[in-house]
A = this chain, B = another copy of it.
């Protein structure tokens, strides 16, 4: 049996305000919950149907109907967990490849970008304070578990980029082809808002302007998660070629 208080405690974590105040977030399904547990995240509460048989965790058993009530998903999947938010290290990047997101608004895009970062072994993403919250249920699910392995920092991007010693890359419509520019292994890649691209304040901090070549006149833009993937893939391909 779940109590009314338990239900309320889960449901209010849909709002960023409550997640921040309580230092908690929700994750669902064996894959995402399993990845978070495997990466050492602390589960404050685990609600699961009998189907879910975790290693070394003791869930509170619930019925399929109770899980449906708790869940933020259209099709709840065996387990819903309340985890403690990880501590956000304050450090600025000194080496390696990192992403900086300037005002990403769509939860699906942010989730996909976190998944792309994970694929390419990019372990840190800096987000501007107006980027959608990575710990919202929608983003957490869209990462397919990658949020367990990628560190996310919300910070003042302008400050971070003003003080970094790393080269700052960004894709801009007036940049030079991604395929002809030198790409450093230690670098920050900035990706901008879905509608407006990189904001003016951040744009002038970009030291290396890149362009993803287009093959004819028709299309105006690429989805931001797609552009992130093409850019990260090329950075990693170059490293492979040079080593």
Contact = CB atoms under 8 A, between A and B. Distances in A.
A145 B116 CA distance: 25
A230 B11 CA distance: 37
Q: Dominant SS at the A interface?
A: helix
Interface in A199-232: 212-216, 218-223, 225-226, 229-230
A215 B121 contact: yes
Given A229-B226, A236-B213, A218 B118 contact: yes
A153 B155 CA distance: 46
Contacts of A141: none
Contacts of A213: 236, 240
B240 A179 contact: yes
A214 B229 CA distance: 12
Contacts of A240: 179, 213
A119 interface: yes
Contacts of A234: 233, 237
Nearest to A225: B226
A76 interface: no
A115 B145 contact: no
A189 to B, nearest CB: 15
Contacts of A52: none
Interface of A: 31, 35, 108, 112, 115-116, 118-121, 144-146, 148-149, 179, 212-216, 218-223, 225-226, 229-230, 233-234, 236-237, 240-241
A171 to B, nearest CB: 12
Nearest to A217: B149
Contact of A230 (B144, B214, B230): B230
A170 to B, nearest CB: 18
B116 A226 contact: yes
A19 to B, nearest CB: 24
Contacts of A108: 108
28 contacts: A35-B218, A112-B226, A115-B219, A115-B222, A115-B223, A116-B222, A116-B226, A119-B212, A119-B214, A119-B215, A119-B222, A144-B219, A144-B220, A144-B221, A145-B219, A145-B220, A146-B218, A148-B218, A149-B218, A179-B240, A212-B233, A213-B240, A223-B225, A225-B226, A226-B226, A226-B229, A230-B230, A234-B237
